[in-house]
Amino acid sequence: MIWLKKRTNVNEKYVLLSFNFAIQMAKKIQDSDFWYSFFLPYVNWQTRRSYRRFEVHGKENLPKDKATIFGVNHSNTLMDALVLLSSDNIKKVFIARGDIFKNPTVAKILHFLRILPIFRIRNGVAAVRQNDDSLNKAVDVIHDHVDLYLFPEGMHRTKHSLMRMGKGLFHIAIDANKQFGDENPIYIIPTAIEYGDYFRFRSTAMINFGPAINVTEFFKHTTEENEAVNINHLKDMLHNEIAKLFTYIPDNEDYDAIWEIVKMKNEKRAGGLYKKMLRNRETVSKVLNFKEEKPEEAQKLFERVMAFAHERERQKISVTSTAKKYPLLNSLWKLAVLLTGLPYFVASAVVTLPIWLITLIIRGKLKDPAFGNTVSYGVRFVLFPLVFVAGTIVLFCNLPWIWALCGTVLLFFSYSLFVDYCELSRRWISDVRWTFKTRLRKQYEALNLNKLF
């Protein structure tokens, strides 16, 4: 009897475990999760602290309580998803390329983070067959009025341009429209992210949402029966709309020269990120018109611009310095700020040594520098709470509470101050160099960009 009782308890235990596993598997990716909600505010806070300036525009273009799919340009690895996640507190699900789901443990973590996989033919035929499950789950996500985010380019690239888009986003939109479009219209939201710098931590980030594309209305009015043709039409629409939302430059042989001109023209002009983007777009338009009207002159100018850019980079002068009319004055006030903040910087450097040293080591081993900001974010995400808690304990154990409290406040901002101080130092050195590079400055003035554009 005792043996039977023990066996029954074991069976009940396995039944309970199987039942819990079945519930877990039946749970939708978009369903609420306690731990996800618990960590989300910290994730979003860390993301916003990764940028000196963070702006979101175009929210008036977002349909309310609708089935929405967001098509976004992809330029800065995982930071793109984190920036989008922190844009508001609305529930979101992402789709990422399937090859990062190979490891079962990583796949579970990504699923917890509300990321679905989508595979491409390069991943193998067997992998592509798994897309049906992801597409069905994606359709269910937007059916439940949860925002679905995709990067239709399929891979990241640190350029102010767009690559050819894949079909995944549009298949989801078409399937959703077939299933419930009549009662719940399907919208694709063109979305663009623009960074001040792809490689420097604590630069700037701006999200811009464009006017929604009503997929349901598109299919009501199209006479084309071929699905592939309709997908191409939707691709063109989304591509054109995203291109209107950030500093878009055609990706051809003149891309680098045009981007250099844009930076030199608009790097230090006042205004927010959105206004700067509009000025950038205006400059791009003027340059492209100049290229069309005077192609030979344009090519000569582009060659001179790139020659200047190569020499500027060789001499380690920032493009921000070239925009200064009085670089010596700018270098003097920067020096005053640096000297004033030096004690705080030294203290911050000592306290946050584990964060910036480990970040420096990992970033130095990266094959793709575009992952640099993701590494900087990840290391600070993990280590900063430990440094902050340990530092706070030390302060309160060794100082009067009022001084310990002040020290804790300074500790809270220490790593951001450390990074910003290093950036200001780099720009100060650049200004000093630019001040005494008379020949290079004459080369810049000879470009005559202000009069041309």
Domain boundary among 213, 243, 273: 243
- Tell which residue, 246, 264, 283, has the closest CA to residue 159: 246
* Mean pLDDT for all residues in the chain: 90
pLDDT band at 2 (very low <50, low <70, confident <90, very high): very low
Asked whether residue 105 carries a pLDDT value surpassing 70, the answer given is yes
- Tell which residue, 399, 298, 388, has the closest CA to residue 348: 388
Kindly state the percentage of the chain with pLDDT values over 90: 77
DSSP string across 408-441: HHHHHTHHHHHHHHHHHHHHHHHHHHHHH-HHHH
CA distance 203 to 373: 10
DSSP string across 272-287: -HHHHHHHHHHHHHHH
Q: Is residue 322 part of a domain?
A: no
Name every residue whose Cβ is closer than 8 Å to that of residue 174 and which is 6 or more positions away in sequence: 215, 219, 227, 230, 231
* pLDDT at site 25: 47
CA torsion through residues 432, 259, 200, 308, sign:
negative
Q: Is residue 274 part of a domain?
A: yes
* pLDDT at site 273: 95
* pLDDT at site 125: 62
Domain boundary among 243, 264, 280: 243
The CATH number of the domain where 43 resides is what? 3.40.1130.10
* pLDDT at site 132: 83
Asked whether residue 16 carries a pLDDT value surpassing 60, the answer given is no
**Are residue 284 and residue 150 in the same domain, yes or no?**
no
Render pLDDT for 360-418 as a digit per residue (tens, 0 to 9): 999 999 999 999 999 999 999 999 999 999 999 999 999 999 999 999 999 999 999 99
- Tell which residue, 240, 193, 192, 178, has the closest CA to residue 213: 240
Name every residue whose Cβ is closer than 8 Å to that of residue 212 and which is 6 or more positions away in sequence: 61, 62, 63, 68, 187, 188, 189
Q: Is residue 448 part of a domain?
A: no
In the chain the first and final C-alpha atoms are separated, in Å, by: 93
Phi and psi based region of residue 159 (left: phi greater than 0; alpha: psi -120 to 50; beta: remaining): beta
At residue 404, the 3 state secondary structure works out as: helix
Looking at residue 326, the DSSP 8-state letter turns out to be S
pLDDT band at 24 (very low <50, low <70, confident <90, very high): very low
* pLDDT at site 118: 85
Looking at residue 247, the DSSP 8-state letter turns out to be -
Q: Is residue 159 part of a domain?
A: yes
Q: Is residue 445 part of a domain?
A: no
pLDDT band at 8 (very low <50, low <70, confident <90, very high): very low
* pLDDT at site 202: 96
**Are residue 235 and residue 108 in the same domain, yes or no?**
yes
**Are residue 269 and residue 224 in the same domain, yes or no?**
no
- Tell which residue, 176, 290, 163, 167, has the closest CA to residue 235: 167
**Are residue 233 and residue 261 in the same domain, yes or no?**
no
Render pLDDT for 241-260 as a digit per residue (tens, 0 to 9): 999 999 999 999 999 999 99
Render pLDDT for 48-90 as a digit per residue (tens, 0 to 9): 999 999 999 999 999 988 899 999 999 999 999 999 999 998 9
Q: Is 45 exposed, middle or buried (CB count within 10 Å of its CB: 0-12, 13-18, 19+)?
A: exposed
* pLDDT at site 17: 35
* pLDDT at site 97: 82
**Are residue 69 and residue 121 in the same domain, yes or no?**
yes
* pLDDT at site 98: 82
**Are residue 364 and residue 303 in the same domain, yes or no?**
no
DSSP string across 186-207: EEEEEEEEEES-SSSTT-EEEE
Q: What are phi and psi of 32, to 5 degrees?
A: -65, 145
Asked whether residue 355 carries a pLDDT value surpassing 60, the answer given is yes
**Are residue 286 and residue 379 in the same domain, yes or no?**
no
**Are residue 98 and residue 163 in the same domain, yes or no?**
yes
**Are residue 82 and residue 220 in the same domain, yes or no?**
yes
**Are residue 238 and residue 334 in the same domain, yes or no?**
no
**Are residue 110 and residue 220 in the same domain, yes or no?**
yes
Task: Tell me the two tokens of residue 321.
Answer: 């310095």
Name every residue whose Cβ is closer than 8 Å to that of residue 393 and which is 6 or more positions away in sequence: none
Cα angle 312-318-265, degrees, rounded to a multiple of 5: 90
Q: What are phi and psi of 279, to 5 degrees?
A: -65, -40
DSSP string across 70-119: EEE---STHHHHHHHHTT-SS-EEEEEEGGGG-SHHHHHHHHHTTEEEE-
**Are residue 192 and residue 268 in the same domain, yes or no?**
no
User: What DSSP element (H or E) covers 178?
Assistant: helix 168-180
Kindly state the percentage of the chain with pLDDT values over 70: 92
Name the one residue in this structure whose structure tokens are 């042989």.
Answer: 253
* Side-chain half-sphere exposure of 85, counting CA atoms within 13 A: 23
Q: Is residue 86 part of a domain?
A: yes
* pLDDT at site 120: 72
pLDDT band at 108 (very low <50, low <70, confident <90, very high): confident
Render pLDDT for 123-148 as a digit per residue (tens, 0 to 9): 666 667 778 888 899 999 999 999 99
Q: Is residue 321 part of a domain?
A: no
Q: Is residue 8 part of a domain?
A: no
CA distance 2 to 8: 10
Looking at residue 249, the DSSP 8-state letter turns out to be -
Q: Which domain holds residue 168?
A: 29-243
Phi and psi based region of residue 65 (left: phi greater than 0; alpha: psi -120 to 50; beta: remaining): left
Asked whether residue 23 carries a pLDDT value surpassing 80, the answer given is no
What is the total count of domains within the chain? 3
Render pLDDT for 420-451 as a digit per residue (tens, 0 to 9): 999 999 999 999 999 999 999 999 999 999 88
